Amino acid sequence: MISTLEKEITLRFLRARKKDGFLNIISIFSFIGISLGVAVLIIVMSVMNGFRSELINKIVGFNAHITVDPYQNKIDLDKVNSNLKKISKNLILSNSGEAIIIKSNTSKGILLRGYKNNDFSSLEFFKDNNFLGNNKILSKNFISIGKELSFTLDLEVGDKITLMSSVGLETIIGNLPKQRTFLVASIFESGMAEFDNNIAFINLKTLEEFFNLDDKDRNLEIYLNNPKNIKYQKSLVQNNFPDEFIYSWSDMNSSLFSALKVERNVMFIILSLIIIVAAFNIISGLTILVKNKTRDIAILKSIGVLNKSIIKIFFLIGIIIGASATIFGIVLGVTFSMYVENLRQFLSTTFNISLFPEEIYFLSTMPSEINPLSIFIISSCSILITIIVSIFPALKAAKLDPIKALKYE
């Protein structure tokens, strides 16, 4: 417990005096350093959390959450158990193959994904407004391409293109690759330039004819109600299809998200050094305070104030500086995190610079996601560091000999 006397002396030592001008400067710099360290950590963690969430939403919105790839046997939807139906909102059969798309004198390799007409229009990412044409048309000889691909090949809805299959066709002059002309029925925008530039959709049966595939080669695409809880749900799918190859969106992008996790942890460690450096100013400030208050400490000891009370007083001073700086840093960091996109737009417009290029980061806006757990960890680390650095000056004040101190005063 902290007594009334200890509280009053603590507040008295915290009050500014003219003769303590240098000490006040150190305390101010300690306060500013810890506040900025906490604020910067919150802002960086919020932006990285937002970037990860947006990336997951883009990937999950475009790709199947879990894919079942058969080894030999045809996938039978009638064998899907009730547990799998409960966690999924859509089960779609699909197939895919690699081809070359040709327009005038330009050619490009792409991945073709085949769907039935009704299944194609039910895909999640086609429900937004970033779509040109009719997403309900994916019948024979119709194709849906991405926005970036339409720019690359200068295509519009209604244009004709030629596709060259990787599968050969036997003729009297030898093996020639299959070619077929398709009509662009629609242009989609997934929000990921990599997808928009390298993936196109055609009718499932047309694709299987084009690549000499049959229905036993079809994959089962599972779209979940909660795609972020992927590990548990993947195990349920594996139990339903024990003899098939199962992979999820997380497996397909594991290296990307591992890199993001490592980068986030490294940034946390590096930026934490700001708080540590600022906290060392507290040691300097409290040490100088002990030196300046030598006479006062000696008088307090002479009238019977215990060593543990002296420790509490100087310990409280450090904690008050660190805790108030942490609270101010939290307010500052959360405020900036909420308006980071507005700030980016302002700086980009004012100085005519690109702070968040879409072609590099895949996203058109700077995302931010304020995570209460991250704020709690950051604030806890900041206060813990403050507690640790406040111990040494407090112990030094308690060890002061009142007789020697009064003798030289």
With the CA atoms of 42, 45, 48 and 52 taken in that order, what torsion angle do they form, in degrees rounded to the nearest 10? Answer: -120
Average pLDDT over residues 120-133: 71
Q: First-to-last CA distance in the chain? A: 32
Q: Taking the model in full, what pTM does it have?
A: 0.69
pLDDT at 284: 77
Per-residue pLDDT tens over the stretch 69-101: 888 778 877 767 677 777 788 888 889 888 988
DSSP string, 274-289: HHHHHHHHHHHHHHHH
pLDDT at 261: 79
The percent of residues above 90 in pLDDT, for the chain, comes to 4
**Tell me, what DSSP letter sits at residue 75?**
P
CA distance 235 to 304: 68
Would you place residue 127 in the very low, low, confident or very high pLDDT band (cuts 50, 70, 90)?
Answer: low
Q: Over 60: is that where the pLDDT of 22 sits?
A: no
CA distance 118 to 204: 11
Tokens 């030196």 correspond to 291
CA distance 265 to 231: 22
CA distance 47 to 41: 10
CA distance 94 to 217: 9
Would you place residue 19 in the very low, low, confident or very high pLDDT band (cuts 50, 70, 90)?
Answer: low
Sequence-distant (6+) residues with CB within 8 A of 76 are none
* CA max distance for the chain: 114
CA distance 132 to 134: 7
Q: Over 90: is that where the pLDDT of 331 sits?
A: yes
pLDDT at 355: 64
Average pLDDT over residues 47-64: 79
Per-residue pLDDT tens over the stretch 347-393: 777 777 766 665 555 566 777 888 888 889 888 888 888 888 888 88
